[in-house]
Amino acid sequence: MNLEQLKQLIAEHDIKSIDLKYPDLICNWYHISFPARRLEHVLEHGIPFDGSSIPGMKTVESGDMVMMPDPSTAIIDPFTEFPTLRMLCYICDADTRIGVKKDSRSVAKRAQNYLKKTGIADSSYWIPEFEFYLFNEAEINNGKFSAGYRFTSAENKEDLPGGYKDIDGTAVSNRKGYHIDIPFDKFAYVREDMVQLIEAIDCPIRYHHHEVGLSGQQEIETEMIEFGSVTDKMMYIKDIIHNCALEHELTATFMPKPLYNEAGNGMHFHIQLRKAEKNIFFKKGNYADLSDEALYFIGGILKHGRSLTAFTNPSTNSFKRLLPGFEAPVKLFFGLANRSAAIRIPKYANSEESKRIEFRTGDGTCNYYLAMSALLMAGLDGIKNKIKPTPENGYGPYDDNVFNWSEADQSKLQSIPSSLEEALEALQEDHQYLLEGEVFNKDLINSWITEKMKEVVAVRNRPHPFEMNLYYSI
Alpha helices (H) in 271-419, listed in sequence order:
292-303, 305-312, 318-321, 368-384, 407-410
Told to judge if 129 belongs to the known catalytic residues of this protein, a careful annotator would answer yes
Told to judge if 321 belongs to the known catalytic residues of this protein, a careful annotator would answer no
Check 339, 460, 462, 464 and give the catalytic one: 339
Told to judge if 50 belongs to the known catalytic residues of this protein, a careful annotator would answer yes
Check 24, 358, 363, 381 and give the catalytic one: 358
Told to judge if 363 belongs to the known catalytic residues of this protein, a careful annotator would answer no
Check 211, 363, 381, 421 and give the catalytic one: 211
Q: In Å, how far are 199, 383, 459 from 119, measured between CA atoms?
A: 33, 11, 44
Q: Is 371 helix (H, G, I), strand (E, B) or coil?
A: helix
Distance of alpha carbon 379 from alpha carbon 391, whole angstroms: 19
Check 86, 210, 268, 321 and give the catalytic one: 268
Told to judge if 407 belongs to the known catalytic residues of this protein, a careful annotator would answer no
Which candidate, 154, 153, 151, places its Cα nearest to that of 141? 151
Check 105, 344, 360, 431 and give the catalytic one: 360
Which candidate, 184, 448, 215, 207, places its Cα nearest to that of 312? 448
Residues facing residue 255 across a β-bridge: none
Told to judge if 110 belongs to the known catalytic residues of this protein, a careful annotator would answer no
Check 24, 77, 185, 219 and give the catalytic one: 219
Check 70, 131, 159, 363 and give the catalytic one: 131
Residues facing residue 336 across a β-bridge: 345
Check 70, 77, 129, 289 and give the catalytic one: 129
Residues facing residue 331 across a β-bridge: 415
In this structure, what DSSP letter does residue 415 have?
B
Distance of alpha carbon 396 from alpha carbon 20, whole angstroms: 46
Told to judge if 339 belongs to the known catalytic residues of this protein, a careful annotator would answer yes
- Specify the DSSP element, H or E, that contains 273: strand 269-275
> What are the residue numbers of the active site?
50, 129, 131, 211, 219, 268, 339, 358, 360
